[in-house]
């Protein structure tokens, strides 16, 4: 593909330069993690509203021409999208090509990892909340722990590295200190980078309760029952959302993403595209900018770029979770893309 004419970067009113595009390629999922959606699922997006391979690659191309350097595919479960390898290949053919990664529950990755690597994906984050089958079933409502573990292994074997593991803890479900330490030991043993994410108010059932949320501090206390953790300096952290800790003197690290108790909105460089073609300038935005309708009505790339720019121009300074008037967005995490 010929080199795209570069446009001005995506800078918002607070000087934040946007370089990271998260694309939800589907809202469907093979699991039902309690912190994300109810066991019966949610009303899925209507198929005709979902972006085609060509549409999603085109919009990524517009974003890349505005300085987006990294594209993360997510969902829902991205591996449920049959054309995923084609989506990756299309993005890898953009010029300049963004770095392409994926956040996945890992189920099915054992079959796809080499093809995704060959298409141009460089690394994956796999979500794993427990190593215990009974707890996995209680939390994700599906007996698929083996599938997730096979996916993690396959990603590492294929070279989709570093493999990062995302863990969300729920009080009284998967927060037993010994089990949390076992997750870290598993990651250390295999060379995976483990990061704990504070549970956020993004579940479809609107059941999030601050008093039930495990804070980053509580998570660290559990890990410290078995390991010595030394924090990184702020300079080492940069704009990364995860605060990293050296484990037992390093070099291995463990991360905590304390989005609720220690928001990092001031250095946010992310923008999101939903599977039905809406731009969201924040996980918690209550408004969206429709790119699908104008695109299908014949908008030019310049017009789509202007819409993307207007969305970023309206980005708020922070997510506001800790303010009394906070309202959870109507769209759940599975349809936004985490
Ligand atoms: N299905 C894929 C997966 O689970 O990795 C990708 C989509 S999932 C929405 C992306 C990430 O968001 C996962 O790591 C998941 O654990 C996290 N997540 C989902 N709901 C969350 C919530 N309410 N709070 C914090 N993280 C959440
Ligand atoms: Fe599916 Fe990921 Fe949500 Fe779990 S967190 S239900 S795997 S989209």
Q: Which residues contact ligand 1 via a Cβ below 6 A?
A: 29, 35-36, 74-75, 77, 103-105, 127, 166, 168, 197, 199-200, 202-203, 333-334, 338
Q: Nearest ligand to the C-alpha of residue 79?
A: 1
CA of 36 to the centre of ligand 1 (A): 7
Dist CA 216 CA 199 (whole Å): 10
Question: 76 — alpha (psi -120 to 50), left (phi > 0) or beta?
Answer: left
Dist CA 251 CA 253 (whole Å): 6
Note the pTM of the prediction, 2 decimals.
0.95
- One digit per residue, the tens of pLDDT, for the chain of length 338 reads 455 689 999 999 999 999 999 999 999 999 999 999 999 999 999 999 999 999 999 999 999 999 999 999 999 999 999 999 999 999 999 999 999 999 999 999 999 999 999 999 999 999 999 999 999 999 999 999 999 999 999 999 999 999 999 999 999 999 999 999 999 999 999 999 999 999 998 888 888 988 889 999 999 999 999 999 999 876 676 667 789 999 999 999 999 999 899 888 889 999 999 999 999 999 888 899 999 999 999 999 999 999 999 999 999 988 878 887 788 888 788 888 87
Q: Is 250 buried (19+), middle (13-18) or exposed (0-12) by CB count in 10 A?
A: exposed
- In order, the DSSP letters of 83-128 are THHHHHHHHHTSSSPPEEEEEE--TTHHHHHHHHHHHTEEEEEEE-
Residue of 168, 264, 321, 331 best suited for mutating to test ligand 1, as the one with most atoms within 8 Å of CB: 168
Domains recognised in the chain with CATH numbers = 20-166+264-336 (3.20.20.70)
**The pLDDT of residue 238:** 66
């Amino acid at each position: 593909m010929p080199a795209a004419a570069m446009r001005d970067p995506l800078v918002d009113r607070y000087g934040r330069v946007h370089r990271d595009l998260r694309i939800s390629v589907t809202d469907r999922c093979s699991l039902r993690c309690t912190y994300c959606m109810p066991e019966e699922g949610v009303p899925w997006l209507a198929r005709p509203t979902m972006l085609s391979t060509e549409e999603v690659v085109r919009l990524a191309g517009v974003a890349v021409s505005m300085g987006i350097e990294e594209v993360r595919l997510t969902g829902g479960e991205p591996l449920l999208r049959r054309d995923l390898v084609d989506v990756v290949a299309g993005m890898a053919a953009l010029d300049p090509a963004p770095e392409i990664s994926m956040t996945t529950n890992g189920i099915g990755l054992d079959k796809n990892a080499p093809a995704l690597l060959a298409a141009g994906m460089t690394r994956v984050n796999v979500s794993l909340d427990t190593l215990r089958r009974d707890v996995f079933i209680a939390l994700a409502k599906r007996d698929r722990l083996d599938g997730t573990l096979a996916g993690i292994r396959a990603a590492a074997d294929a070279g989709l590295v570093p493999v990062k593991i995302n863990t969300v803890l729920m009080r009284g479900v998967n927060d037993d200190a010994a089990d949390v330490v076992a997750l870290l030991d598993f990651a250390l043993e295999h060379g995976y980078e483990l990061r704990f994410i504070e549970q956020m108010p993004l579940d479809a059932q609107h059941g999030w309760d601050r008093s039930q949320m495990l804070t980053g501090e509580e998570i660290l206390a559990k890990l410290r029952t078995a390991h010595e953790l030394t924090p990184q300096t702020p300079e080492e952290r940069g704009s990364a959302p995860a605060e990293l800790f050296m484990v037992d003197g390093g070099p291995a690290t463990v991360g905590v993403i304390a989005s609720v108790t220690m928001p990092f909105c001031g250095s946010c460089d992310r923008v999101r595209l939903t599977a039905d073609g809406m731009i969201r300038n924040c996980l918690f935005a209550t408004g969206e900018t429709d790119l699908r309708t104008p695109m299908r009505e014949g908008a030019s790339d310049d017009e789509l770029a202007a819409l993307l720019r207007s969305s970023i121009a309206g980005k708020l300074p922070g997510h506001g979770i800790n303010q009394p008037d906070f309202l959870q967005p109507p769209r759940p995490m599975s349809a936004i893309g985490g």
